[in-house]
Amino acid sequence: MTAKNLSTVAVDLIESYGNTAKNVIDAYRAGGERAVSLLEQRWNRALKHSRSELTAETAKNAAAAQIAFSAYYTKGLNLTTSGATQVVTQLVKVLEGSVERVAANAGAFEEKTGVTTLNTLAAATAPGALVLSRLAAQIEQKTAALASKIAGDDVTTATVKRKSAFAERRAARAS
């Protein structure tokens, strides 16, 4: 396995971790939205049961306060989760670019010096990287299922854009 192939595995692994992080963020967002909904329902039930003991102005203020609290919480939840998603996206881009630059530099180094130590190291590291990539893909799938379970039909989970390195290697062997 060459450094380029190892870099492909590393990029796939980084992308999988990024998707896993986005799935966890989506699950957090969905859970927060569900909590707001449950709190609103509970608040409204409590207000309905105690309405006879409250003045009209107090009941009106309580309902307005509940709406304001929910709006602020929801806005904060959306801002933080959107920001976290953007951070993960940018971090994945930077890391993928870094891995690709390191692989290109390693290839150029081997060509100019004739030393194949990096290629040997990549070949030795490849089986472990493939196993780690496979495990990361399974974790990604589990977090996507968890996010879907928490949110119901309201969540879109992150998906891998390309085949895993393991699947690519198996397909290459088959052909």
Note the pLDDT of residue 153.
Answer: 60
Mean pLDDT score, 55-83: 91
- 65-71: long-range contacts, CB 8 A cutoff, minimum separation 24: 66/40, 70/36, 70/39, 70/40
Three-point CA angle 138, 133, 14, nearest 5°: 100
pLDDT, tens digit, 9 for 90 and up, residues 74-90: 999 999 999 999 999 99
Predicted model pTM = 0.72
pLDDT, tens digit, 9 for 90 and up, residues 101-154: 888 888 788 888 887 777 777 778 878 888 888 888 888 888 888 888 887 765
DSSP sequence for 87-113: HHHHHHHHHHHHHHHHHHHHHHHHHHH
Kindly indicate the confidence band of residue 22, based on its pLDDT and cuts at 50, 70 and 90: very high
Looking at per-residue pLDDT, the higher value among 3 and 86 belongs to: 86
Note the pLDDT of residue 85.
Answer: 95
Tally helices (H) and strands (E) across the chain: 4, 0
Looking at per-residue pLDDT, the higher value among 169 and 78 belongs to: 78
% the chain with pLDDT above 90? 28
